[in-house]
Structure 1
C-alpha cells in the first residue's frame, strides 16, 4: 500500500486497502492510506468514516484531524470540517498546511475576512508555500486589500506553471493589478487536467483571455478569441459548468456593448443577473445592464437595475464592514483626521525635495475626470503615471502600525523619519514604474485629497491638481460604478449617503487647504471639454513644461497603453467630448431629495443647478 501511495496509484491502493479486511480492525497506517485513496478516487464518505475512526483512536494526532477536515470539506459538511481543522490547529498551531486547509474552507464559504486572516497566517508560517500565497492573495482581492494581494503575489513571475483552476485565479488578480503580460503568460502555461474537465477549463481560459483583451481596449483580439466560444455552445452547457457559462456570457456581453450592439449586450447582462446567486457576480451584471439602459435612454430600467446592483453589493459588503451599515456611520474614515492651524505651527521644519523632484498629485472625488488628466500627463515624455495606487494611504498605515497616531504625530517626525517614509514610497513606486528614470511621477489617486497632511509633510513643494466636475454628475457616475472597496460600496449605496460623503470630503479638503496653502491647480471638467486648448496651456504653465502639446494626444496614448485599472478605461480612449456633461439632469427627479445637502458645496465650487 505504501509503494502504491508513493507511486500515486490510488486505484491500486484502494484495491489493496479493501483487501486488507474490516476497517474497524485495521491498523492506523492502513486506515490512513485507505482513506487517502478513497478521497482521491471520489469515495469521499467512505474516507470520512475512516478518518473519523482515526481521530477516535488517536485524538491527539493533528494530522488525523487535518485529514478528517479535508474529507468533510469535500463531502459538503463544512461544520464538521471547521471543527476538525480547528482541532488540528489546536494540536499543531505551527502547521502551515492545516492553516491553509482551513483558509480554503472559509474561501469556499465566501467568508473572506476570516479566510484572508487564516491564509495570511499560513504564509507567515511558510513564506514559500505558493498555493497559500495564491489563495491568500485571492482572499485579499475580495476584501479590497489591493496592497495585501500585491505582497502575496510578489515573485509570481518565477512561480512554476499552475494547474488551470489556480492559473485562472492568478491571472484574474495579476490582470486587475495591471500585470497584463504576466497574466497572459500564466494562462499560456496553465496545466490542464486529464479527463472531462479539460475542455471546460480550456474554454474558461479562452474566455479569460478575451476578457483581458476587452479590458485592454483590444476589441478585435477579444472577438477573435470568442470565435472559439460561440454563444450557442454556452447556452447548451450543463448546470454544473456555470463558471464557464458565466465567464463566456460576461465577455460576450462586454464586447457586444463595446461594438455598439446594445440590445444584445443588455439581454445577456439581464440574463446573467439570474445565472448565479453570488452577490458579487449579480451586482456586476446589474451595473453593466444599467449602463446600457442609460445609453439607450431607458432611464427607469436603468435605475431599477441600479437598485438591484446596490442591493447585491450591500449583501456582499455586509460581511466585510457591518459597522458601516449602522446609521450615522462614516465610510470615508479619513475625513475625521484633521490638522488645525495651531497643530501645523508645531511642525518642525525639515528638508524636502523641490517641486521638480516631487510627484505631481492628481486628486478629486472619484469620477471627476482624474483618469482623463492622468492619461494626458502620461502622454507627455516628461511624465510617468503608475495607474491608481494607494501608496500615500500605505504610508499612513505604516505610521499607525509603528504606534504613531495620524495625523497628530506628523508634528514630531524627525528628518530621519520623513526620509524613511519617502524611501518607502520610492520603493513602492520603483516596483510599479521601474522605468521612471528622470521623468516626473504622476500619482493619481482621487481620495488622496483626504491625505493632504501626509502629502505636505513629505512633499511640501509638490504640485497638486484638483479635478472638479459638477457634483451631481460625479454622484451619478459613482452611483453607476461597481467599486471593489466594501467601504465605497456602502458609501455609494444611496444618493443621500453619497451626497453626504461628497460634502464631507470637500469640507475636509478645504480645511486643509486653508492650513497648508498647497500649490493647487483646479481642473474643471466642463471647462476643459469646452476650451481644451486654453486649459492645456494653463496645465503646462502650472507644471512648468515648455511644450504641453503631447498631452493632447492622450486618447491615442491610452489606446496604445493597454490596461487602465479604473472604470474609465474605455472612455479615455475616445478623446474629448461633452457626453458626460449634465448627465444627471436625465435623473433629476432622483436627485431632488439630495440637492439641499449639496447646494452649499455646489455654490462653493462654482456650480449651480
Structure 2
C-alpha cells in the first residue's frame, strides 16, 4: 500500500533526474574511493516545533551539507512514519540514499532535516553508528497555533481518517479514535504534539549521548549558550552563526488561540502543557 501524501511533499522531474545522475556517479566513485563511515546528523521533532529553524541555523556552516525536507527522502520518511508496514519496502532505499548523500557531501558532514525520522531513529542509529540526533521541542501552544496557520501541517489533522489507524505520526490509536474524531483541529494537533513529546522522551533513553534536545524557547532566549552547546555536541570547530531572533513567535499563540482552544489543549496534554 502506498500512502498518498499532501501535494506540497513533491519535487520537479528535472530536479529528481539531476539527483539521480549525481548519485549514480557517486555510487561508481565509491567503489574505488571508500571513505570512513558516514556520520550524518538527523534533526527530529514534530511539525512546526522549530526543526526547520534549527536546520536553517546550521545550513550556512562550512562543515555541514544540509538537506531540508528533500524529496524523495522526505516523502519516504513521512510515509514510513505514518505506516510502519512501509518500512520493508522503503527503508533499505532510504538507508542507501543516506549513504550516498553522506559520501557525496564529503569532506562536509551530511545534515538531514526530515523531522518524521523521529519514528525511525533506532533504525538510523543502527545503520549509522556515528550518527548524531537533534531532537527539537517547542511548547504545545506555540506548536498548535503554528500548525493551524500552516496548510500542509493542518492537512494531517483535517484528513486523518484517510490514513491507517493506529497512526503514531498523528497520535491516533484504537483507544482514542472516537474521541479524536470529535476533537477540533487544535485538539488533534495537540494529540500529535503529545505523541511526539513522548517519543522524544523515549529516544533520550534509547539514544543516550547521541541525541541532544534543543528547546525552541531557550534557543530564542539563551541563544549564545544554546548555540555553544550545539556546537560542542556536533564537534564543530567553528562557531555556529547567530540567527535572527523573532521573539514574538514565543507569545503569538496568545493572540491566535481562543480560550476554548487553550482549555481543550490543556485537557488533552495535562501537565505536559507546561513542558517546552
Is TM-score (shorter-chain normalized) higher than 0.5?
Answer: yes
Among 250, 264, 271, the alignment partner of 1:600 is 271
Distance in 2 (CA, whole Å) between partners of 1:437 and 1:459 is 16
Write the deviation string for residues 107-162 of structure 1: whole angstroms up to 9, x where unpaired. xxxxxxxxx9xxxxxxxxxxxxxxxxxxxxxxx8865563xx556864489xxxxx
Which runs of 5 or more residues in structure 1 are unaligned? 1-115, 117-139, 158-352, 399-403, 410-416, 555-574
TM-score, length-scaled by structure 2: 0.68
Verify: 1:537 aligned to 2:210, yes or no: no
Superposed CA deviations along residues 336-358 of structure 1, whole A, max 9, x for unmatched, are xxxxxxxxxxxxxxxxx76xx32
CA-CA distance at 1:487 after TM superposition: 3.3
Going from structure 1 to structure 2, the CA distance change for 1:464 and 1:141 (only over 3 Å counts) comes to: closer
3-state secondary structure, aligned to 1:384: strand
What's the offset of the Cα at 1:381?
Answer: 0.5
The correspondence for 2:61, drawn from 349, 358, 380, is: 380
- C-alpha distance in structure 2 between counterparts of 1:471 and 1:602, whole Å: 6
Residue 518 (structure 1) shift: 5.6
Distance 2:266 2:78 in 1: 34
Given candidates 185, 197, 207, the residue that maps to 1:494 is 185
* CA displacement at 1:588 relative to structure 2: 4.6
Q: Which residue of 2 aligns with 1:165?
A: none
Distance 1:479 1:532 in 2: 27
> C-alpha offsets along residues 489-541 of structure 1, whole Å, 9 cap, x if unaligned?
43597111111121122223333443443611111121122221121211111
The Cα offsets for residues 452-503 of structure 1, whole Å up to 9 and x where unpaired, read as 2222221233111111221110110011111078535435971111111211
Aligned to 1:482: 151
CA distance 1:486–1:518, change in 2 (3 Å) = farther
RMSD: 3.7
Q: How does 1:207-606 map to 2 (within 5 A)?
A: 357-389=38-70, 391=73, 394=76, 422-427=95-100, 429=101, 436-483=105-152, 486-487=155-156, 489-490=158-159, 494-517=185-208, 519-549=210-240, 551-552=241-242, 554=243, 575-586=244-255, 587-589=257-259, 590-603=261-274, 606=275
State the shift of 1:394 in Å: 2.5
User: Using the alignment, how far apart are the partners of 1:383 and 1:153 within structure 2?
Assistant: 21
- Return the alpha-carbon distance in structure 2 between the equivalents of residues 545 and 602 of structure 1: 34
CA distance in 2, matches of 1:593, 1:151: 43
> Secondary structure at the residue paired with 1:385?
strand
Give 1:380 shift: 1.0
Secondary structure at 2:99's aligned position in 1? helix
In structure 2, C-alpha distance between the alignment counterparts of 1:443 and 1:361, rounded to whole Å? 5
Distance 2:74 2:50 in 1: 20
Q: Which secondary structure does the structure 2 equivalent of 1:368 belong to?
A: coil
Which of structures 1 and 2 has the larger relative contact order (alpha carbons within 8 angstroms, sep 6+)? 2
Count of residue correspondences: 228
Which structure features the higher share of strand residues? 2
User: Deviations for 1:36-76, whole angstroms, at most 9, x for unmatched residues?
Assistant: xxxxxxxxxxxxxxxxxxxxxxxxxxxxxxxxxxxxxxxxx
Maintained 8 Å contact 2:66/2:110: yes
**Change beyond 3 A, Cα 1:597–1:406:** same
Residues 358 and 459, structure 1, Cα contact 8 Å, conserved in 2: yes
Specify the SS of the correspondent of 1:521: strand
The alpha-carbon distance between structure 1 residues 362 and 141, as it changes in their structure 2 partners (threshold 3 A), is: closer
The Cα shift of 1:382 comes to 0.4
* Pair member with larger Rg: 1
Identify the structure with the greater helix proportion. 1
